Amino acid sequence: MSVALDAALGVAAVGGMLAVGSLALAFADEAAAAAVAGAPLRPRRLLVAPFRRAASALLTATTTTERPDGGGRALAPALLAGLAALAMSMLPLAPGVVPADPSTGFVVFSAAVAFVMIAVFLHGWSPNSTLPLHGAYRFGAVALSFQIPFLLAMLATALPAQSLSLVRIVEAQAPLWNVIREPLGLPIYLIVGLAVGLWGPLNLPDADDLAGGTSAEDSGLARWLWEAARTSMLVAVAALGSAAFLGGYLGPLLPGPVWVALKTALLLAVMAVARHALARARIERFVEVAWVLLVPLALLNVFVSGAFLL
Amino acid sequence: MVDLGPLAIASAVMVAALLAVLGSWLRAARRPSSRTAPERVPFTGGQPPSVHAWSRYHVRYYPMALLFLAFDMEMVFMYPWAVVFVGEGLVAMVEMGMFIGILLLGVLYAWRERAFRWT
Amino acid sequence: MTSLIARLAAGSDARVFAIAGAGSRAAVQDLRLADGVELVDSPRAADVLLVAGALDPRHHDAVRRVHDALPHPRASVRWAGSRDVLVPGAAHVALGTDPSSAIRAAHQALMHGTMPTEPPLLPDEDPAPWRGVGPYGQGGSGMTGGTPYGRPMAELAPDRDGLRLDLLPTRLGPFSSLLPHGLELDLRVSGDILVGVEVAATGLAASATSASLFIRALTEPVSIAELEIGRARDHLRWTADALRLQGLRALSLRALRLGLHAAPGDHRAVERLAADIARTGIYRWSLPAADGARTELLAGARLGPSTRASGVGEDERQADPAYRSLGFAPLLGAGGGAAAAWRLRLAEAVRSLELAGRGGDTRSAVTGAVESPRGRLALGDAPSGRALGLLPTLIEGMEWGDAMATIAALDIDLDELGAVTAGTSAEAAA
């Protein structure tokens, strides 16, 4: 009975956090875009823009293509949103406050990140259209390359915690945050997090050189749901990144959840700036750098930070 | 005995989000917008395609995908290793270091063989 | 609730898919700066279709197909010199006036439900009869059940690594965001590599005329200050489009805003823009590396910045005594490739603005052949024509994204091409 209640609370909390996080990302993105473009920032317009966009998506019909995989098209955004929610449900909010704390939380998060590949591939493959199909296979190369550095960067945070539970990982940072203990971890995590969230310089599957890639055939609410699922994934990556590297709810004076929100917002702001300040990588360049540079650096990070624990 | 409660809650949250999005998608798709054949033509710039897009796609990064398989197995070993690392101390570090070192040689070999380039 | 949603939706940006017909490319590009209007890359993402400029009858079916790809509710705006029946029911806005208020009005009416959605323009006909053939109505045999919609599946093809996999034929254009509108490419794609490239069609309208400075300079002396400002603006407009293709939309808007009004005093602003672009890492991360054979092709084709990027000092302005009196010497790159051409375009934009500042009222002294922003321009011989001739060789064997970046780097201008070649055919007729 109490599990059912906890689950209901968890659903509400995660839904709320993803929504608020997505709005924060939208604002940060607009602000960064205006700063880079040298255009004036119009705060009132900016605040209502996401709601206006959602309303117009609601009023626009959803198109289909010739002989699409209907089930796959419907499932792709749902799966991506589900994975974001799964990751977010393990975010520690304050000492003893977390929607779900499986003892293998880190493994569950890795699995969610691995499944992003299925969601994006399905999204590109299902419309039976050329440009989305290229986006889908392109993401295959991206996902197979980001997986290992992403997991290794996260893994180093499990060493001091001696546990795979995300709550323990936060608790173990009480003496020293992981961002200082293992300085390479957060940069690698953030770089690769951009690819997990299909964002900015690593938004290869939905890139402009594919005229929108996997979402080129999406319209109306279907398009909006995909965008919402993508941003949710990015929010989840930022939130868990703040827990794993920036000490989560740890911090002086302010209550835990406020620290979580501030740290997540900081990482979202970094990602928003990255989108407008960094050019998109060529697919081949990213694959090579991920394997030849990021994997060894992530391993170095694991072993050097491990050596300090002995 | 592992406490399955937290996993159940996490799964419930995932399923709830999945169903919410799936439900809205299906509701929107019930109002079909593309009723005529030309409205359904996939878009590549205004001309109809000559064939369906689904095909036996040439995945040119397959050598990299094979390398990934090797590293993915390594990750499976690293999860429990991370938990016992502090307890086992230097032994764990040296053993995993040797294992990873050998795998990294594989990356170097793949790099030399241009496995990360296909264009 | 319903009225709240409608009110909110009406306040959102109108999402526009624009078809840029002859003579409207720059005007359509300027719409990116318009308030309340967002240009999108796919008709599926749009609620308003903007059909700008003159379009040949041979493009009419493609226009109709793009129109039908928009989701309901949809509306269209025809932005042209005179009314025509290309898109029945479209609001008409004269070319030369701002269409953004008509676009916003159409979008708001659609969202409030006061304007009915436009019905499809093409008849509901399957491309080939296929329904009812075979046990599930799918027609015949094959991997996914024969030829649904009368379209076959892709066919087997041998490839360079000895594997036999499907070759996906793709017709890109005429109204793709990846190509100048009017250009159609027949691509054969194996995986993400283009293994076959053919230019299927070019040109927007046979009656193409261009008021471009550089075409005027072919027949009469033109003020050098004017020419060089035009060159700088052209380079900045190109930069805006190329940045967008690389996903840097905010920087792209900055380049476009600069390109709209660039004047001799702005050379510092252009320098800052160039530095900020370099800082994004675009030259190292986004653009394909220079390749010997391709660089050699471009080096011999007198394609302006693309040629000079490989260190070849080919520039028509050197032959002009008026330019020489201003101390003009061409800027050269090294090594060639898309990145070198990018850098050179931005450097030339700066240099052109400086030159314009020094130019006073000096006029060009040589007519007949001038250096347009795209290369050597003469009557009957436009740089874009030569670029189109090289294009298949240049992008064959490239990965999709590299190919798109390479096409963008060529800066193909079909209006300029049309005006120059139309001029010669008219002379020949006379």
Residues B61-108 pLDDT 10s: 988 999 998 888 888 888 999 999 888 888 989 999 999 998 889 889
If you count residue pairs, one on A and one on C, with CB atoms under 8 Å apart, how many are there? 155
Query: Going by C-beta distance under 8 Å and a sequence separation of 6 or more, which residues neighbour residue C303?
Result: C374, C375, C383, C386, C387, C390, C410
Residue B24 lies in a domain: yes
Task: Establish whether domains C2-112 and C213-429 are of one fold.
Answer: no
Residues forming a β-bridge with C16:
C39, C48
pTM of the model: 0.92
Q: What part of B 46-65 touches A (C-beta under 8 Å)?
A: 49, 52-54, 57, 59, 61, 64-65
Q: Which residues of A touch B117 (CB under 8 A)?
A: 284, 288
pLDDT band at residue C2 using 50, 70 and 90 as cut-offs: confident
Per-residue pLDDT averaged across C387-407, rounded? Answer: 92
Chains touching chain C through at least 3 C-beta pairs below 8 angstroms are: A, B
The bridge status of strand C375-378 relative to strand C369-372 is antiparallel
pLDDT less than 50: residues of chain A: none
Q: Please determine, for residue C306, whether its predicted confidence score (pLDDT) is greater than 70.
A: yes
Query: Going by C-beta distance under 8 Å and a sequence separation of 6 or more, which residues neighbour residue C283?
Result: C339, C342, C343
The pLDDT score that the predictor gives to residue C428 is: 44
Instruction: Name the residue type at position C189.
Output: V
Residue C207 burial (CB count, 10 A) = 11
Same domain (yes/no): B65, B105: yes
The pLDDT score that the predictor gives to residue C334 is: 84
Same domain (yes/no): B64, B116: yes
Q: What is the DSSP string of C188-216?
A: EEETTEEEEEEEEE--S-TT-----HHHH
Q: Please determine, for residue C385, whether its predicted confidence score (pLDDT) is greater than 50.
A: yes
C35 in B contact zone (CB under 8 Å): no
Q: Which residues of A touch B9 (CB under 8 A)?
A: 3, 6-7, 10, 89, 99-100
pLDDT band at residue C427 using 50, 70 and 90 as cut-offs: very low
Q: Please determine, for residue C141, whether its predicted confidence score (pLDDT) is greater than 90.
A: no
Express each pLDDT in C245-300 by its tens digit.
999 999 999 999 999 999 898 989 999 999 999 999 999 999 988 888 888 888 88
A64 in C contact zone (CB under 8 Å): no
A33 in C contact zone (CB under 8 Å): yes
ipTM for the predicted complex comes to 0.91
CB C405 within 8 A of CB C288: yes
Distance from CA of B50 to the nearest CA of A (A): 11
Query: Is B43 in contact with C155 (Cβ distance < 8 A)?
Result: no
Residue B4 lies in a domain: yes
Express each pLDDT in C40-64 by its tens digit.
999 999 999 999 988 888 899 999 9
Give the residue from A205, A285, A138, C290 showing the smallest Cα distance to B117. Answer: A285
**Distance of alpha carbon A193 from alpha carbon A212, whole angstroms:** 20
Instruction: Name the residue type at position C165.
Output: L
The pLDDT score that the predictor gives to residue B1 is: 46
The bridge status of strand C155-158 relative to strand C184-190 is unpaired
Q: Please determine, for residue C18, whether its predicted confidence score (pLDDT) is greater than 90.
A: yes
Residues forming a β-bridge with C378:
C369, C381
Residue B64 lies in a domain: yes
Question: Could you list the residue range(s) of the whole structural domain that residue B92 is in?
Answer: 60-119
Q: Which residues of B touch C170 (CB under 8 A)?
A: 44, 49
Query: Going by C-beta distance under 8 Å and a sequence separation of 6 or more, which residues neighbour residue C54?
Result: C21, C22, C23, C80, C81, C204, C205, C207, C208
pLDDT band at residue C130 using 50, 70 and 90 as cut-offs: low
Residue B86 lies in a domain: yes
Q: Which two tokens stand for residue A168?
A: 């323990």
Instruction: Name the residue type at position C307.
Output: T
Give helix A70-88 / helix A105-125 axis angle, nearest 10°: 160
The CA distances from residue C23 to C26, C54, C107, C380, in Å, are 8, 7, 25, 18
Residue A216 burial (CB count, 10 A) = 28
Alpha helices in C113-223 (DSSP H): 213-216
C42 in B contact zone (CB under 8 Å): yes
Q: Which of A59, A130, A211 sits opposite C177 (nearest CB)?
A: A211
**Distance of alpha carbon A153 from alpha carbon B72, whole angstroms:** 14
A55 in C contact zone (CB under 8 Å): yes
**Distance of alpha carbon C147 from alpha carbon C144, whole angstroms:** 8
Q: Which of A60, A212, A285 sits opposite C41 (nearest CB)?
A: A212
Residue A49 burial (CB count, 10 A) = 17
Q: Which two tokens stand for residue A119?
A: 């969601």
Residue B108 lies in a domain: yes
**Distance of alpha carbon A69 from alpha carbon C121, whole angstroms:** 26
B100 in A contact zone (CB under 8 Å): yes
Express each pLDDT in C324-370 by its tens digit.
888 888 898 888 888 999 999 999 999 999 999 888 888 888 888 89
Distance from CA of B114 to the nearest CA of C (A): 13
Express each pLDDT in C60-93 by its tens digit.
999 999 999 999 899 999 998 888 888 888 899 9
Q: Which of A10, A108, A125 sits opposite B12 (nearest CB)?
A: A10
Query: Is B48 in contact with C191 (Cβ distance < 8 A)?
Result: no
Q: Which residues of B touch C165 (CB under 8 A)?
A: 55-58
Query: Is B14 in contact with A284 (Cβ distance < 8 A)?
Result: no
The pLDDT score that the predictor gives to residue C430 is: 41
If you count residue pairs, one on A and one on B, with CB atoms under 8 Å apart, how many are there? 236
Residue B97 lies in a domain: yes
Same domain (yes/no): B106, B67: yes
Higher per-residue confidence, B3 vs C368: C368
Express each pLDDT in B11-47 by its tens digit.
888 888 889 889 988 888 887 677 888 898 999 998 9
Query: Is C6 in contact with A59 (Cβ distance < 8 A)?
Result: yes
CB B52 within 8 A of CB A273: no
Which CATH number is C2-112 given?
3.40.50.12280
pLDDT band at residue C424 using 50, 70 and 90 as cut-offs: low
Q: What is the DSSP string of A222-290?
A: HHHHHHHHHHHHHHHHHHHHHHHHS-TT--SSS-HHHHHHHHHHHHHHHHHHHHHHSPPPPHHHHHHHI
**Distance of alpha carbon C30 from alpha carbon C19, whole angstroms:** 13
Q: Please determine, for residue C218, whether its predicted confidence score (pLDDT) is greater than 90.
A: no
The bridge status of strand C155-158 relative to strand C91-94 is unpaired
Q: Which residues of C touch A212 (CB under 8 A)?
A: 41-42, 45
Same domain (yes/no): B26, B67: no
Q: Which CATH architecture has domain C213-429?
A: Orthogonal Bundle (1.10)
Query: What is the DSSP code (8-state) at residue A200?
Result: G
Residue B53 lies in a domain: no
pLDDT band at residue C150 using 50, 70 and 90 as cut-offs: low
Residues forming a β-bridge with C76:
C49
Quickly tell me which residue has 């953030």 as its tokens.
A190
C88 in A contact zone (CB under 8 Å): no
The CA distances from residue B49 to A140, C149, C252, in Å, are 24, 11, 31
Could you give the number of structural domains in chain B?
2
Instruction: Name the residue type at position A279.
Output: A
Residue B118 lies in a domain: yes
Nearest CA in chain C to B59: C191
